[in-house]
Structure 1
């Protein structure tokens, strides 16, 4: 009856992953600005992997 009051555990995980993704993207941008292309590419690859994981969680949730 009051199922709408229960929090979605998947939502909490998606928010945590999104925050980590945003942080990685910011770090990658700063590395690129400094001219550190190797670090930029590593951080971007990690962020892309994380983004794919977030997308898969969104698909499963729908």
Structure 2
């Protein structure tokens, strides 16, 4: 089990949280996505190691930006 936390900018509402959660959740091996709207922290839990690039791509697909990993 692997866990990584990222800071995502641009999220302003629960719809934003849902979009980011859905896109990251589609990455193979991801078992959980926890988004804290107030801080922009996104914690990704996975069965195997997930690359930062895969998470960044998913966040961009949702319309947001990873500003720290």
On whether the aligned pair clears a TM of 0.5, the verdict is no
- Choose between structure 1 and 2: higher strand proportion: 2
Higher RCO, Cα 8 Å, sep 6+: 2
| Structure with the larger helix share | 1
- Which structure is larger by alpha-carbon Rg, 1 or 2? 1
Alignment TM-score, normalising by the size of structure 2:
0.29
TM-score with structure 1 setting the length = 0.32
